[in-house]
Amino acid sequence: MKLLLDSTRCQGYGLCQEHAPDLVELDEWGYANVLAVSVPPGAEEAARACADSCPNSALRVEG
């Protein structure tokens, strides 16, 4: 499973990081940066919640 970010869609709301702090970090303006493209075992639910929380659909889960 992969967590992918379309940085052109990110508006810096920061909601994603609340659900998956081990997978996503925020820069000083609140824009997301994916720390782990490959989602580690046991973090699948957090990755889905992270992607679902984005109001601009900047994050998506594949696989």
Say how many domains are in the chain. 1
CA distance 41 to 51: 17
Taking the model in full, what pTM does it have? 0.90
pLDDT, tens digit (0-9, with 9 covering 90-100), for 3-60: 999 999 999 999 999 999 999 999 999 999 999 889 999 999 999 999 999 999 999 9
Q: Which domain holds residue 42?
A: 2-62
Quick one: pLDDT at residue 44?
97
Q: What dihedral angle (degrees, nearest 10) is formed by the CA atoms of 10, 11, 15, 18?
A: 70
CA distance 34 to 20: 10
Domain CATH code at residue 6: 3.30.70.20
Quick one: pLDDT at residue 36?
83
Q: Where are the beta strands (DSSP E) in 6-58?
A: 24-26, 32-34
Quick one: pLDDT at residue 2?
97
